[in-house]
């Protein structure tokens, strides 16, 4: 049970039925505000992809995918872990123009995630991707996009609080930007997670940039697949939770690799064999558009806005027996 935190004197602000209505308010509102802010069109996304396509997200490169064979289709299929690569190919196939993008309501299974207050083997997020120019592959453009997303979060939160006045959490509309190396320099004695909590405790809304490469300490701030984000132009968005007394990562996002960053990152990660896949060849040849994109956790956003202590209060998933017993005893209703 060391993975579960039970906040002292915790009582849900909304009951189960109010929570279900509030979840719909959060999701309906945020989809609309985000799509307007970033010029995105909703598209239908896959739950499974072919195992030999190279499209599935490899996350940190060690997570096992859910894989199975099919009755009358050759090969094997995998349940997606995210849509990082699929989205970029979809932008090309659908003919999206520069400045326009797509978003999808994604459901995934990550069987190797450690279930706790913020993690579930079931993942639901808004996956989005947008076509940009080479001139927009800059830190400034990345920051401007982050600011737009944070404003969409705050606008949604105001709508939800108006509909459910008992909610009192305050979100900070001004993100604080810092690189993972600057964060390590500030708190060299802390672990990456401890550093994140310390800076988010102070600033409330933080975007930690440049995640994936090795820091001066010889360690990485966090793992990142080498073939979708450009490690010099990416980051994680975190907001502070008063309920859990920690930062909640709402989004991992970034400007995607071009032919140069793909080659260098695959070499650094020892994954040059991935160049056999169509996706990687299309990036290397410049066939795929240059893009920016990311994922925004639906359940985590609901947790933050609805002031919940456990992700199981806003999504239905599978939990350890001890977790179910402990949460029931603490008055935390898992769906």
For residue 94, the domain's CATH number is 3.30.930.10
- Closest to 146 in 3D by CA, of 67, 42, 250, 232: 250
Residue pLDDT tens, the chain, 335 long: 457 888 888 999 999 999 999 999 999 999 999 999 999 999 998 988 888 877 777 676 677 888 899 889 998 988 888 788 899 999 999 999 999 999 999 888 888 888 889 999 899 999 999 999 999 999 999 999 999 999 999 999 999 999 999 999 888 889 999 999 999 999 999 999 999 999 999 999 999 999 999 999 999 999 888 988 999 999 999 999 999 999 999 999 999 999 999 999 999 989 899 899 888 999 999 999 999 999 999 999 999 999 999 999 999 898 888 888 888 888 899 98
221 contacts 183 by C-beta, under 8 angstroms: yes
Asked if 249 is an active-site residue, the reply is yes
For residue 85, what pLDDT is reported? Answer: 84
Whether 306 maps to a domain, the answer reads yes
195 contacts 220 by C-beta, under 8 angstroms: no
Candidate list 210, 252, 265, 299, residue with the active-site label = 252
Whether 255 maps to a domain, the answer reads yes
For residue 11, what pLDDT is reported? Answer: 92
Q: Provide the number of structural domains found in the chain.
A: 1
For the residues of 262-314, what is the DSSP string, one character each? HHHHHHHHT-GGGGGSHHHHHHHHT-SPPEEEEEEEHHHHHHHHHT-S-GGGT
* Element spanning 33, H or E: helix 16-38
Q: Residue 194 is part of which domain span?
A: 16-329
Candidate list 105, 113, 222, 249, residue with the active-site label = 249
Candidate list 236, 258, 307, 313, residue with the active-site label = 236
User: What are 41's strand-pairing partners?
Assistant: 102
Rg of the chain in Å (alpha carbons): 20
* Per-residue three-class SS string for 100-151: CEEEEEEEEECCCCCCCCCCCCEEEEEEEEEECCHHHCCHHHHHHHHHHHHH
- Closest to 117 in 3D by CA, of 313, 322, 251, 295: 313
For residue 175, what pLDDT is reported? Answer: 96
Candidate list 110, 195, 224, 300, residue with the active-site label = 110
Q: What is the pTM of this model?
A: 0.92
Asked if 57 is an active-site residue, the reply is yes
Whether 146 maps to a domain, the answer reads yes
Candidate list 35, 125, 210, 315, residue with the active-site label = 125
Whether 9 maps to a domain, the answer reads no
Whether 334 maps to a domain, the answer reads no
Asked if 229 is an active-site residue, the reply is no
Whether 183 maps to a domain, the answer reads yes
Whether 8 maps to a domain, the answer reads no
For residue 1, what pLDDT is reported? Answer: 46
Whether 4 maps to a domain, the answer reads no
Asked if 281 is an active-site residue, the reply is no
Burial class (CB in 10 A: 0-12, 13-18, 19+), 270: exposed
262 contacts 291 by C-beta, under 8 angstroms: no
Burial class (CB in 10 A: 0-12, 13-18, 19+), 296: buried
For residue 60, what pLDDT is reported? Answer: 64
For residue 80, what pLDDT is reported? Answer: 85
């Amino acid at each position: 049970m060391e993975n579960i935190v039970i906040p002292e004197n915790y009582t849900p602000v909304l009951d189960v039925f109010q929570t279900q209505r509030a979840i719909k308010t959060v999701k309906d509102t945020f989809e609309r505000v985000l799509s307007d802010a970033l010029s995105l069109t909703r598209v239908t996304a896959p739950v499974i992809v072919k195992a030999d396509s190279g499209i599935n997200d490899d996350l940190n490169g060690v997570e096992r995918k859910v894989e199975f064979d099919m009755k009358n289709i050759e090969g094997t299929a995998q349940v997606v872990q995210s849509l990082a690569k699929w989205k970029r190919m979809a932008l090309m196939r659908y003919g999206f123009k520069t400045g326009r993008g797509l978003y999808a309501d994604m459901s995934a299974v990550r069987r190797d995630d450690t279930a706790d207050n913020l993690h579930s083997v079931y993942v639901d997020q808004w996956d989005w991707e947008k076509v940009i120019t080479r001139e927009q592959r800059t830190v400034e453009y990345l920051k401007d996009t982050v600011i737009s997303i944070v404003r969409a979060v705050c606008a949604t939160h105001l709508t939800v609080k108006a509909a459910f006045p008992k909610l009192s959490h305050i979100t900070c509309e001004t993100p604080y930007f810092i690189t993972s190396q600057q964060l390590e320099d500030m708190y060299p004695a802390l672990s990456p997670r401890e550093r994140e909590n310390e800076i988010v405790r102070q600033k409330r809304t933080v975007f930690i940039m440049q995640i994936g490469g090795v820091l001066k300490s010889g360690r990485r701030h966090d793992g990142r697949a080498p073939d979708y984000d450009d490690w010099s132009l990416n980051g994680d968005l975190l907001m502070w939770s008063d309920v859990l007394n920690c930062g909640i990562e709402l989004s991992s996002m970034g400007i995607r690799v071009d032919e140069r960053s793909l080659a260098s990152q695959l070499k650094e990660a020892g994954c040059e064999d991935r160049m056999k896949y169509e996706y990687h060849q299309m990036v290397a040849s410049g066939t795929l558009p240059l893009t920016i994109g990311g994922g925004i956790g639906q359940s985590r956003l609901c947790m933050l806005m609805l002031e919940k202590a456990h992700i199981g209060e806003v999504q239905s998933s599978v939990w350890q027996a001890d977790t179910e017993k402990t949460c029931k005893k603490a008055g935390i209703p898992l769906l």
